[in-house]
Chains A and B, each alone.
Chain A
Amino acid sequence: MNKITEKLLEVISDWKGVFDGAFNIREDGQCVGRQSSPNIRIDPLAGGAGLEIHVSSQAQGETVYIPACVTKSDVNDLVYNDFYIGDGADVVIVAGCGVHNDGEGEARHNGIHRFFVGKGAHVLYKEKHIGMGDGSGARRIDPITDITLEEDAVMEMDTTQISGVDSTVRTTNANLAARAKLIIHERLMTNDQETAKTDFTVNMNGEDAGVDLISRSVAKDRSHQEYRSVIRGNTRCTGHSECDAILVGNGTVSAAPELFAGHIDAALIHEAAIGKIAGEQILKLQTLGLTEEEAEQKIIDGFLKG
């Protein structure tokens, strides 16, 4: 594993020299470290195209790390990872992707993650994206996440991209069975000329399924973001989505939330707010002794943290 990968790992997956438990580290399309644990089995797919990860029902409170790094130009890494989560398992999955580019060619990671979450299982899926390096070549991360939740399964997805990714298209699809719950927290910040596209589609097919989709983003400089969400309530269910975006400088954001209620007892709510930082928020922090710039920074930090 090279130095750049180590640095990226620190940022995206709290790497401190070792991973405790099951892990797989991918660097420029190759596996540079893998370990299974008694309850979490990681098998390579034929031809190095990705992984099959089986989490048994016995796994309770375990963590599996599957970070992927691209460390140079002219790499276009495509990976398929399939997760099979046993009934009643309780697991944390730390994914994360770092793209470092000091060269002129493009560096791209495209991860296709499929989750099959068994009855009553609980998954916390953490995905942190970052771009680094000062080459002129673009840094791209285009994740696709497909989620199938069986009855009573709960999945929380925390997805964060704070800086340095020139272009990203993030696609998430989910299908929920009865009483399954999906909670998505997205945090996104774009700078310079970066573009970020987010596309969520959630189908609630089983009675009393529920989704809570919270997106907070900051578009700075001349960056552009597009947010699209479709929540389909096909039966008695609850759906809530909240999309808040702060504009700084010449950032632009387009948000297109869609709700489909296909049943009389589908209760769906959408809230959206886009705009610059409220002037009175800056004033309040100035009365506590912060400068305008400090106030802006605190407001953005808090907004993206919360």
Chain B
Amino acid sequence: MLILENITWSVPDGDSILKGVDLVIPSGGLTVITGPNGGGKTSLAKIVAGLYKPDSGRILLDGEDITNLSITERARKGVGYAFQQPVRFKGITVRDLLELAAGHPLEESELCDILGSVGLCTHDYIDREVSTGLSGGEIKRIEIASVLARSDTKLTIFDEPEAGIDLWSFAGLIEAFQKLKTKNSGSILIISHQERILNIADEIVVIAEGKVRAKGSRDEIMPVLLADEKAAHCPRGKEVY
């Protein structure tokens, strides 16, 4: 279980981005965070993974205060984070990256399992460099795979996993998340704008303007979101004329 208590964060030049976020993400379930662009979702994920330090507030993972731990320490305690913008490496192959993630060499069959769940054929990819030679969708899938390759994570965050993934592969991606949910007893947190991902959520959290705007079960939140969409107001909350 992840507990966030009154998290605030400002960018280095002073703009306040997160304005007091309180959130409980239960274990064993799938929570989807959604909300307008620029609302602070990625910032919050980076704060949980340790890439950003909050100005104030506390982060508790299974009861332990991890607020002051480094990225590495959090990773070793079971925090996994698939970046919204995957990072490219010259010279590091798909196999290298997945083995670093797993923490040990991987058998052909394990690699097959991991890459298969993001819809990639092992043979075509395993020796490719995770560099500019990969397309946007391919590198996004490998980014997701690098987090799926980790063993026993307590909290796994996927930041807009649907971005760049073609429609035909979507069902496979959804299946991968559902499979992860059954085999992993930790919390799964997906940041997404996609209705099909929202549809598999146990809980939905809406973050806007640096705050939790709404939170509840899928059945409670989905109708509100869909109604909002019809109202077609500006995502920043200002009226459109």
Binding site for B on A (CB under 8 A): 216, 244, 278, 280-281, 283-292, 298-299, 301-306
Contacts and interface: CB of A to CB of B under 8 A. Distances in A.
- Interface majority SS on A: helix, strand, loop or mixed? helix
Contacts of B70: 286
B91 A289 contact: no
Given A283-B71, A299-B92, A306-B92, A288 B100 contact: yes
B146 interface: yes
B103 A244 contact: no
Given A288-B75, A288-B150, A290-B100, A304 B89 contact: no
B149 to A, nearest CB: 9
B90 A302 contact: yes
Nearest to B87: A284
Contacts of B234: none
B147 to A, nearest CB: 8
Given A287-B81, A289-B72, A216 B150 contact: no
B175 to A, nearest CB: 24
Contact of A285 (B49, B50, B100): B100
Contacts, number: 64
Contact of B91 (A290, A291, A302): A302
Contact of B89 (A287, A288, A292, A302): A302
Nearest to A292: B72
A278 B100 CA distance: 18
Given A281-B87, A281-B89, A283-B51, A289 B76 contact: yes
Interface residues of B, number: 26
A288 B92 contact: no
Given A298-B92, A302-B91, A284 B75 contact: no
A278 B51 CA distance: 14
Given A306-B91, A306-B129, 9 more contacts: A288-B150, A289-B76, A290-B100, A298-B92, A298-B100, A303-B89, A303-B92, A306-B92, A306-B93
A290 B72 contact: yes
A289 B103 contact: yes
B214 interface: no
Interface in B83-109: 83, 87, 89-93, 96, 100-101, 103
A284 B46 CA distance: 11
B100 to A, nearest CB: 5
A291 B146 CA distance: 17
A289 B50 CA distance: 12
Identify the interface centre among A278, A288, A290, A304: most chain B CB within 10 Å of its CB. Answer: A288
Contact of A244 (B79, B90, B93, B100): B90
A36 B80 CA distance: 58
B102 to A, nearest CB: 9
A292 B76 CA distance: 13
Given A280-B87, A284-B87, A287-B80, A302 B150 contact: no
Contacts of B75: 286-289
6 contacts: A284-B83, A287-B80, A290-B100, A292-B72, A302-B90, A302-B91
Contact of B49 (A280, A281, A287, A299): A287
Q: What 7 pairs across the A-B complex have the smallest Cβ distances?
A: A306-B91, A302-B91, A302-B92, A286-B71, A289-B75, A284-B87, A303-B91
Nearest to A291: B72
A241 to B, nearest CB: 15
Interface in B142-180: 146, 150
Given A280-B87, A303-B91, A288 B146 contact: yes
B124 to A, nearest CB: 18
